[in-house]
Amino acid sequence: MHDDVQALVNEEIKEKIQDVLDNKKDPVERWEYFKQIAIGNKLSFEVHEALYKLAYLDWNSDIPKPVWIPTKEQIENSNIGKLMKSLNYTDYKKFHKWASDNREEFWKTMIEKLGIVFSHSYSKIMDGTVQEPLWLKDAKMNIVDSCFKADKDKIAVIYKKNRLIKKVSYDQLEKLVNRIANSLINIGMEKGDNIAIDMPMTYESVAIYLGIIKAGMSVVCIADSFAIDEISTRVRIGNAKLIFTQDFNVLRDKQIDIYEKVKLSESPRAVVLFFDKEENRTLRENDLSWNDFLVSNDEFESVKMNPYDNSTILFSSGTTGDPKAIPWTHSTPIKCASDGYLHINITENTVASWPTNLGWMMGPWLIYSTLINNATMALYPIAASEREFCEFIQDSKVTMLGVVPSLVKAWRLNKVAEGLDWDNIQLFASTGEASNESDYFYLMSLVGYNPVIEYLGGTEIGGAHITGTVVQYSSPATFSTIALGLDAVILDEYGVEIKKGELFINPPSIGLSSTLLNKDHKKVYFDGCPRGLRRHGDEIEKFSNGYFKAHGRVDDSMNLGGVKVSSADIERCVMKHPDVMDAASIGISPKDGGPSNLVIYIVLKNNFKTNQYILKKELQGLIKEKLNPLFKIYDIVITNSLPRTASNKVMRRVLRDMYSK
C-alpha cells in the first residue's frame, strides 16, 4: 500500500483497501471500490486523492483516467441515450458520425426535439454555401416564443433577494417580458432597433433581454464590470438607442457603481433599475426609472422575424482594433438549447445555475438552454467565490452547476463549498479557462464524484466545439467528444492532422456566425484555412481514445478572469502611460490550469528609468480604469525592443516561449 494512504487511515480502513488491492486488478474497478470506501467512511479529501492515485498506480496509458462512469441505466435515461435509441443507435461514436455526416437531418431532428416554434415553417433546413449558410429557409419565427412552451405554473427562475429565495413561474416571467416589450414601443423604440443592457444577471435583466428580442429588436450585451471606455465602444459599435442599467451592485460588501459609468460613457437614454428601493436618486435628463418605464399591459404578440435576423450583439476581442461584434440571430439559440439538451443533459427537471452575466455569451446561453428545454435557472449575482453563493446553490436545489476553473480553485482554497448539502447536483459544467485536474477531482468529490462536462467553444459558435456527455466516462479537465452537429480536426501549421495543435472547425452548423458587424467575417475565420475549414484559435491535444485536453489559445487572445480579451486591447490601454513607448501583452497558462496570467513586455521611452513595482501599479490602474478591473497584471518585463516580423507584427509566440523558459 502506498505510503500516502498508510499515514492517513486507521487499521480497519487499511484492511479494506488492501483487500481491494489483492482482489481487484483492473484500475478502473479498483477506483470504484476505493470511491465507496472513501465516501462511506467520510474520509478526508487527501485520502480520496491518495486512493485515486493508488488505484491507477499501474495505469500505463495516455488515456485520461476515469473518475465517473455512467451506468447502463444512466445512459438509457439520458437525453442522448433516449435520442440514440429512437434513431436505432447503441454506440455513441456511430451516433456522432451520423450527426456529423448528416448535418441537415441532425438539425431537423433537434429542432423537432426542442419544439422550436415557427409562425411559418421552413422550406429547407439549409441553403446557401458552407461559409455563408442560410438556415431555415423561408421560415418566420421569434426565438422567444420557444422559451415559453412549459406549463405556465412551472418555475422558470429562482433567485435570491434581500436574503429571501424567490421563485418566478413561466407565466409570471412571460408577463413581465410582455410588459417590457410594450414599454419599449411606448417610448418610441421600433423593430430593428438595438438596445443595450449593462446589468448584473438578475431576474429583471433576463426579462429585459427577452422583452427586447420579443419586440423585434436586438440586445447589445455589455458586462457590468466593464470600464467607461469599453461601455462607450460597445454602445458605439452596437449603435444602441437605449440602455438598461442598474444604479449599483454589491460584491463582497463593496458597492460597485454601474449607472455612474454609463453616464460617463456618453451612452444613450437609460432605463435605470435600483439595487434596493427606488428613492430620491438623481437621473440624467430624459433617463427613466424602471417604474416610470414599465407599463401595465402584460399581453404582447411577438414580432415575427427571419431566422437570420439579428437578436443579440455580443463582443469577442480580436487581435487588433475594436472588439469583434458578433451577431446572434434568431436561429443561434437552437445551438445553445441543443448543446444544453444533449451535452449538459438539461431536462424539464433541471435547476441550472451558472455564475455569469449578459456581457459574456454564457448569459444568453443559460437563458436559452434552460427555457427552451422547459427547465429552471437559478440566479444570484453576488461574488460566486463566497460561502453565501454556495449556500444559495444548496437552498435552491441546483442540479446542474456551471463553473470556471478559477472559481473552483477559490472554493478549494477557502473551503467555502464544504459541509453543504449539494446532493441535488447531478453534474457540473465548466468553461472559460483551461482546467486543472486536481481542482476538478476536488470539485467532483463534493458531490460523490458526479461528472464534470467540459464545454469549450465561443461566442461565434453559439456554444461548444468540443465538450462531453453523460453517456461517456468523465475524467477531470478532459473533453470526451466533438460537439454533436459539427466536426473538427487538429492541424499543424502545414495543414497536416496531428495529435496536438490548432483545432479547426468543419462547417456548417447552426450557431456558427456568418457575419460580423465591424470586421470581414471571411477574412477572420476562413482566409488561409486549409480544405474549407474554419479557424477558432484553440490549442487542443487528442488522446488515443478520442478524448481531448485544452491548452489555451494559439492566437493573440487570452482569457482573464473568465473574459476573453485581445492583446491589442491590453496594449492600447498601457500605451496611454506617458513613459511607455511600446508594449506587448501575452497570456501565460499556469502549469496547474486556470485563467491565463497576464504578462506585459514594456519598452520605455528614451531608456527611461523607473521603479518596476510603481510602473506595474500604475499600469494596473490604467487597466482598471480604461478596460476592466478583473484583468490583473501578473508580471511586467522591461525590455529594449520587441521581436517583430518583417511586416512589423509583434511575435507574441516568441515572447511566450521566452517567458516560459
Strand partners, 376: 351
Same-domain status, 501 and 620: no
Same-domain status, 476 and 384: yes
pLDDT score for 320: 46
pLDDT score for 64: 96
CATH number, domain at 635? 3.30.300.30
Number of domains in the chain: 3
Q: What is the average pLDDT score of the chain?
A: 92
Residue where a domain stops, chosen among 36, 55, 74: 55
Residue 154 DSSP class: S
Strand partners, 488: 505
Strand partners, 133: 128
Q: How does pLDDT run across 572-583, given as a tens digit for each residue? A: 789 889 888 888
Residue 425 inside a domain? The answer is yes
The dihedrals phi and psi of 17, each to the nearest 5 degrees, come to -65, -45
Whether the per-residue pLDDT at 497 is higher than 60: the answer is: yes
> Mean pLDDT, to the nearest integer, of 252-270?
90
Same-domain status, 403 and 282: yes
Strand-by-strand arrangement of the 633-638 sheet: 580-588, 597-604, 633-638
- Respond yes or no on whether the N-terminal peptide bond of residue 508 is cis (omega within 30° of 0): yes
Angle at 457 between CA 454 and CA 462, to 5 degrees: 120
Residue 448 inside a domain? The answer is yes
Same-domain status, 564 and 644: yes
Residue where a domain stops, chosen among 35, 55, 75: 55
Residue where a domain stops, chosen among 540, 573, 607: 540
Whether the per-residue pLDDT at 15 is higher than 50: the answer is: yes
Same-domain status, 244 and 291: yes
The closest of 23, 419, 442 to 32, measured between CA atoms, is 23
Residue 12: burial class (beta carbons within 10 Å; 0-12, 13-18, 19+): exposed
Same-domain status, 613 and 489: no
Whether the per-residue pLDDT at 564 is higher than 90: the answer is: no
Q: How does pLDDT run across 97-125, given as a tens digit for each residue? A: 999 999 999 999 999 999 999 999 999 99
Same-domain status, 416 and 440: yes
**Which cell is 46 given?**
487527501
Residue 65 inside a domain? The answer is no
Residue 87 inside a domain? The answer is no
Angle at 162 between CA 231 and CA 298, to 5 degrees: 70
Q: What end-to-end distance do the CA atoms of the chain give, in Å?
A: 38
Q: How confident is the model at residue 319 (pLDDT cuts 50, 70, 90)?
A: very low
pLDDT score for 321: 60
The closest of 367, 380, 334, 314 to 208, measured between CA atoms, is 367
> What is the rounded distance in angstroms from the CA atom of residue 317 to the CA atom of residue 325?
9
Residue 68 inside a domain? The answer is no
Packing angle, helices 92-101 and 79-86, rounded to 10: 70
> What is the rounded distance in angstroms from the CA atom of residue 95 to the CA atom of residue 363?
30
**What letter represents residue 147's amino acid?**
C
**Which cell is 584 given?**
506587448
Q: Which residues contact residue 489 at a Cβ distance below 8 angstroms, ignoring those fewer than 6 apart? A: 497, 503, 504, 506, 533
> What is the rounded distance in angstroms from the CA atom of residue 318 to the CA atom of residue 316?
6
**What letter represents residue 181's amino acid?**
A
**Of 198-212, 244-258, 319-333, which has the strongest mean pLDDT?**
198-212
Q: Mapped to the 3 state alphabet, what secondary structure does 393-447 carry?
A: HHHCCCCEEEECHHHHHHHHHHCCCCCCCCCCCCEEEECCCECCHHHHHHHHHCC
Q: Which domain holds residue 253?
A: 144-540
Residue 118 inside a domain? The answer is no
Residue 82 inside a domain? The answer is no
The closest of 597, 525, 563 to 314, measured between CA atoms, is 563
Angle at 106 between CA 101 and CA 107, to 5 degrees: 125
pLDDT score for 258: 94
> What is the rounded distance in angstroms from the CA atom of residue 110 to the CA atom of residue 105?
9
Same-domain status, 267 and 396: yes
Task: Count CB neighbours of 660 within 10 A.
Answer: 11
Same-domain status, 372 and 332: yes
Q: How confident is the model at residue 372 (pLDDT cuts 50, 70, 90)?
A: very high
SS3 541: strand
pLDDT score for 1: 57
Same-domain status, 188 and 220: yes
- Rounded CA Rg of the chain: 25
> Mean pLDDT, to the nearest integer, of 262-289?
88
Same-domain status, 383 and 275: yes
Residue 154 inside a domain? The answer is yes
CATH number, domain at 505? 3.40.50.12780
Same-domain status, 371 and 260: yes
Q: How confident is the model at residue 545 (pLDDT cuts 50, 70, 90)?
A: very high
